[in-house]
Amino acid sequence: MWLPPALLLLSLPGCLSIQGPAIVRGQERGSLTVQCSYKPGWESHKKWWCRGAYWHKCRILVQTTGSQQTVQRNRVSITDNQRDRLITVTMKDLRRNDQDTYHCGIEKPGTDRGTSIKIFINPGSSTPENLVSGTNGSNHTGVSSSSQTRNHYMLLVFVKVPVLLTVAGAVLWLKGSQRVSREQWEQPIYIELV
């Protein structure tokens, strides 16, 4: 069954409730921070960070209590800034085997809301580095460059291209109507002399 692209977005779990970077890179023996934002109305719900390819089956590593208090478990901590609706997860002492798919999630009755994040671990250096989410460690907002690229393409497909096609159609239509008018005036006029 064919569905318009906008309706397909509604069917993806959590895609409208919670968003995070698609890819985050960290340095072995260093730490990384991932930030996920969520929509209003979810502030008092528990937030979680889990590991596994499928968000509905992944293993929860750390979970908030529904408050803004930071919760730490082993090498992972999670904080829920309910005023800014921002989940912050920090992973410390990164290891090569930490490379996997993770999920930011919101606990709710029925199916939880979640967004998938791929974590890549670069080989270690002699000194630990504190890399913040993003592919080059310079992005402090929790939105990776690939996430920004994906958002740009969605904007391009759903807004910019239709507007551009509409404008191009209008220009071609106007040029076509001007050409007909010009052709009518440029034809020679014959006057019969009696």
Calpha distance 28→172 (Å, rounded): 57
Residues in the chain: 194
Q: CATH class for domain 14-143?
A: mainly beta
180 falls in which pLDDT band (50, 70, 90)?
A: low
Mean pLDDT of 53-77: 91
Calpha distance 59→53 (Å, rounded): 10
Q: Give yes or no for residue 119 having a pLDDT over 90.
A: yes
pLDDT for 11 equals 34
Calpha distance 175→169 (Å, rounded): 10
134 falls in which pLDDT band (50, 70, 90)?
A: very low
Is residue 59 within 8 A of residue 50, CB to CB? The reply is yes
DSSP β-bridge partners for residue 117: 102
pLDDT more than 70, % of the chain? 62
Mean pLDDT of 54-68: 88
Q: Which residue has the higher pLDDT, 107 or 178?
A: 107
Q: Which two tokens stand for residue 15?
A: 């895609």
Calpha distance 49→21 (Å, rounded): 14
3-state secondary structure of 152: helix
The domain locations on the chain are 14-143, 144-186
Cα torsion 103, 105, 107, 113 to 10°: value is -100
Which range is least confidently modeled, 16-25, 44-53, 73-82, 185-194? 185-194
Q: Which two tokens stand for residue 67?
A: 């408050």
Q: Give yes or no for residue 120 having a pLDDT over 80.
A: yes
Calpha distance 102→95 (Å, rounded): 15
